[in-house]
């Protein structure tokens, strides 16, 4: 699948250009390849092209890929989708990162079920920055209280914030939403969460705006792998 290697190169170049354009170093931005809906062969092709971090949104699908790709070295798995409470145990046992933490009871479950044999689970709090009722995430006003709760739990390491702003074509409006997330993170740091170092924001359509506002992880799916097959058409 040489296509994936070519697309990966293009996305890496986009990230590097966006970083340099605002005086950041390209290495400050980590590419998370969001592989939901893609077959294991696509991830293997990305791995052959040097990609190690993969984002998944559905537990069953992710588990099948983890098994299929168990022989590959250095894979890092990030859960980016909505989490039902009854899936917390399996997610805590299998993933390195969770980007979509949005409630205290879920944090408690993840902490309780994170195996002591593994490093702490790296977590980001998902913020509903555009205030869309259909979107997941804690309201910006609730982020500080949730951060307090998460920081007090064992086996979790709070790293920062994740957001999926409402789609906007206008780059200035894209940036405004990402700026709000950055300011929220700065507020948490000023309030004593000095170890927070992660802004997980920016996808295929808006990664440049996210990098300009300080993204440290961009979560990119279609620009890396091409279009996703519709969910109900998947095996
Ligand atoms: C699917 C998905 C992405 C990637 O979206 P693209 O537009 O394909 O780049 C990023 N983040 C989350 C949470 C997703 O579910």
CATH code, 26? 3.20.20.10
Residue 235's pLDDT band, with cuts at 50, 70 and 90, is very low
Look at residue 78 in the predicted model and tell me its pLDDT: 99
Helix pair 104-113, 143-151: axis angle to 10 deg? 20
Q: Is residue 210 lining ligand 1, measured as CB closer than 6 Å?
A: no
User: Residue with the nearest Cα to atom 10 of ligand 1?
Assistant: 219
| Domain presence at residue 234 | no
- Residue 181 domain flag: yes
Mean pLDDT (the chain) is 96
**Residue 130 located in a structural domain:** yes
Instruction: For 54-79, write each residue's pLDDT tens digit.
Output: 999 999 999 999 999 999 999 999 99
Nearest partner of 168 among 179, 156, 177, judged by Cα: 177
Paired sense of beta strands 217-220 and 30-34, if any: parallel
Residue 208: Cβ-neighbour burial (10 angstroms; 0-12, 13-18, 19+): buried
Say yes or no to pLDDT of 231 above 80: no
Q: CA 76 to CA 12: how far, in whole Å? A: 18
Sign of CA dihedral 176, 179, 180, 181: positive
Query: What is the tally of structural domains in the chain?
Result: 1
Report whether pLDDT(223) > 60.
yes
- The answer to whether residue 37 scores a pLDDT higher than 80 is yes
16 located within any domain: yes
Sign of torsion, CA 149 150 153 159?
negative
Indicate whether 129 belongs to any domain: yes
What pLDDT was estimated at residue 135? Answer: 79
Specify the DSSP class assigned to residue 138.
B
Asked if residue 233 is part of any domain, the answer here is no
For residue 232, the model assigns a pLDDT of: 60
Our mutation pick for probing the ligand 1 site, out of 30, 61, 221, counting the most ligand atoms within 8 A of Cβ, is: 221
Taking 80 as the threshold, does the pLDDT of residue 191 lie above it?
Answer: yes
Radius of gyration of the chain (CA): 17
Task: Report pLDDT for 152.
Answer: 97
The span from the CA of 198 to the CA of 22, in Å, is: 18
Q: Kindly state if the Cβ of 158 falls inside 6 Å of ligand 1.
A: no
In a domain, 192, yes or no: yes
Range of the domain at 170: 2-225
48 has pLDDT over 90: yes
Q: Is the CB of 222 under 6 A from ligand 1?
A: yes
**Cα 227 to ligand 1 centroid, rounded to whole Å:** 11
How confident is the model over 107-151, as pLDDT tens digits?
999 999 999 999 999 999 999 998 887 779 999 999 999 999 999
Q: Name 55's Cβ contacts closer than 8 Å, sequence gap at least 6.
A: 32, 33, 34, 35, 36, 78, 79, 80, 99, 219, 221
Is residue 108 domain-resident?
yes
């Amino acid at each position: 699948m040489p296509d994936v290697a070519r697309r990966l190169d293009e996305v890496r170049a986009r990230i590097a250009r966006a970083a340099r354009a605002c005086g950041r170093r390209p290495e400050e931005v980590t590419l998370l390849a969001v592989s939901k809906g893609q077959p294991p062969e696509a991830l293997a092709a990305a791995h052959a092209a040097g990609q190690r971090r993969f984002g998944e949104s559905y537990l069953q699908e992710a588990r099948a890929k983890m098994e299929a790709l168990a022989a590959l070295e250095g894979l890092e798995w990030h859960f980016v989708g909505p989490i039902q409470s009854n899936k917390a145990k399996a997610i805590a046992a299998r993933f390195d990162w969770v980007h979509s933490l949005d409630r205290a009871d879920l944090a408690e479950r993840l902490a309780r079920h994170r195996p002591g044999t593994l490093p702490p689970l790296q977590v980001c709090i998902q913020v509903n920055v555009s205030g869309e009722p259909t979107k997941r995430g804690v309201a910006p006003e609730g982020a500080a209280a949730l951060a307090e709760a998460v920081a007090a739990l064992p086996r979790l390491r709070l790293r920062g914030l994740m957001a999926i702003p409402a789609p906007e074509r206008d780059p200035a409006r894209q940036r405004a939403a990402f700026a709000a997330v950055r300011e929220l993170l700065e507020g948490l740091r000023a309030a004593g969460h000095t170890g927070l170092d992660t802004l997980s924001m920016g996808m295929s359509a808006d990664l440049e705006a996210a990098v300009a506002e300080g993204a440290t992880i961009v979560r990119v799916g279609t620009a890396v792998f091409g279009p996703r097959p519709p969910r109900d058409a998947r095996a």
